[in-house]
Chains A and B, each alone.
Chain A
């Protein structure tokens, strides 16, 4: 049986066939999850971002004009949500450092919890977590998802030249982090 293209499925969803969207989710949920997971670094947040990505995509499907592929469009939503999540983490981290959050939130039951979570991540994931947000996103898209610079530039809406420089710097920094771990 011939598999429907993404665009055919999108048109079916627009025609009211909800099942077609479930098929689109089945196709891309793993890639969306892993992209989010590598950018934000935690399973819980990646899980939430993956769900939110599809919810947003479903509600905004009327705005999808088909200029880029459906996956590029979906990917853009996922990366933007992930970058927003990092920014929130950074704000929260800053507030924790400034001791405001510690006064508001109760102390965690298990003080070793963060350490355990850290151990559950691979060496590479930990190295990625040390990158600045833009380099992190570019690294994940290029190294893990093997996307072309043109596709990445469509997602992040930046120049190809800048992306190449970002990726190269990210590769160097990840190598340095791994050297330190070794």
Chain B
């Protein structure tokens, strides 16, 4: 590569000779360079200044537009998406309905649940029920057993005071 440079690169002497030869030829040709009047240069100054004004105002408009509209717009959109990503409201978990839950239970269990059927609608969800849904009060058990005609079991479930109250009630009914 270096060899190529030394071969291609002409010496100063070569260059000077070539320039002198060119100048001599141009003199022979009486070559006259094109001249331009002073008015043109004055006009060029004015025209250039006008173009600078136009270009500067265009640049200023684009900067002010960016400052007023584009940048706040982009920032707002960014914030929106960031907010959407981090603070998206969670959809409520869909609760299974009592009806579907009951469908999965064995028949005996369903019977035990339907102590007060008037309170259980199809639209009722498990979220509406209290957590101690499978714990029944003594009164609820008594009502269920009485309604189902299972008197022996009913009496077994009664305490002594209740049995006494029941017997007293039966005696009263007999006397009447």
Residues of chain A lying within 8 A (CB to CB) of residue B44 = 29, 33, 47, 50-51
Residues of chain B lying within 8 A (CB to CB) of residue A26 = 45
Interface presence of B110 (CB below 8 A): no
Residues of chain B lying within 8 A (CB to CB) of residue A174 = 22
Interface presence of B160 (CB below 8 A): no
Residues of chain B lying within 8 A (CB to CB) of residue A54 = 48, 51-52
Residues of chain A lying within 8 A (CB to CB) of residue B26 = 123-124, 178
Closest to B45 in A: A25
| Of B10, B15, B56, the contact of A59 (CB 8 Å cutoff) | B56
* Docked-complex contact B52 and A58, CB < 8 angstroms: yes
Q: Annotate B19-52 by CB proximity to A: 1 below 8 A, 0 otherwise.
A: 1011001101101111010000100110111011
Interface presence of B8 (CB below 8 A): yes
* Docked-complex contact A164 and B9, CB < 8 angstroms: yes
Given known pairs A25-B48, A171-B15, A178-B25, the reply for A122 and B31 (CB within 8 Å) is yes
Q: How many A-B residue pairs have CB under 8 A?
A: 84
Residues of chain A lying within 8 A (CB to CB) of residue B18 = 168, 171-172, 175
Interface presence of B116 (CB below 8 A): no
* Docked-complex contact A167 and B15, CB < 8 angstroms: yes
* Docked-complex contact B9 and A124, CB < 8 angstroms: no
Residues of chain B lying within 8 A (CB to CB) of residue A58 = 52, 55-56
Q: Annotate A50-61 by CB proximity to B: 1 below 8 A, 0 otherwise.
A: 111011001100
Residues of chain A lying within 8 A (CB to CB) of residue B49 = 22, 25
Chain A contributes a number of interface residues (CB within 8 A of B) equal to 35
Residues of chain A lying within 8 A (CB to CB) of residue B139 = none
| Distance between A22 CB and nearest chain B CB, rounded to angstroms | 7
Complex CA–CA separation, A179 to B10 (angstroms):
22
Chain B interface residue number, banded: 20 to 34
Closest to B2 in A: A161
* Docked-complex contact B47 and A124, CB < 8 angstroms: no
Residues of chain A lying within 8 A (CB to CB) of residue B33 = 122, 124-125
Q: Annotate B102-139 by CB proximity to A: 1 below 8 A, 0 otherwise.
A: 00000000000000000000000000000000000000
Complex CA–CA separation, A21 to B49 (angstroms):
9
Interface presence of B95 (CB below 8 A): no
Interface presence of B151 (CB below 8 A): no
Chosen A-B contacts, 19 in total, with CB atoms closer than 8 Å, are A25-B48, A29-B44, A29-B45, A47-B44, A58-B52, A59-B59, A120-B34, A121-B34, A122-B34, A123-B31, A124-B33, A143-B22, A164-B9, A165-B9, A167-B15, A168-B15, A174-B22, A179-B25, A182-B29
Closest 6 CB pairs of A and B: A171-B18, A168-B10, A165-B8, A123-B31, A51-B48, A54-B48
